[in-house]
Structure 1
Amino acid sequence: MKASKPFKGVKDGDIYPTEFNPGDEIPAELEAAALELGAAEGVPTAPKQTKAKV
């Protein structure tokens, strides 16, 4: 999935956000977030991550 608008997201294993620009490939772990923000269009390839239950 590619970004359609600029947005920032923290990739798995990173501690600082990466800025994604239109046309950049979005990692699977950030696809759902990009869709919710309207920064990408399409169907995510990875399932949406949820918070762990405590």
Structure 2
Amino acid sequence: MRGIWKWVGLAGVAGVVAGGVLVARDQRRRNAYTPDDIRARLHQRLAEAERTE
């Protein structure tokens, strides 16, 4: 019975680590944009939205 809890705990730790990796990757992707890049993308989206109306 003790071995089962060891595996359950190990799986939990692995899940937390995997979640941290995903959060870090997403944060790096968001930080890669400069304010000028974000502004240009927003202007592009606005122009596309105005064309579809």
TM-score normalised over the length of structure 1 = 0.21
TM-score normalised over the length of structure 2 = 0.21
Of structures 1 and 2, the one with the larger relative CO (CA 8 A, separation 6+) is 1
More helix by share: 2
More strand by share: 1
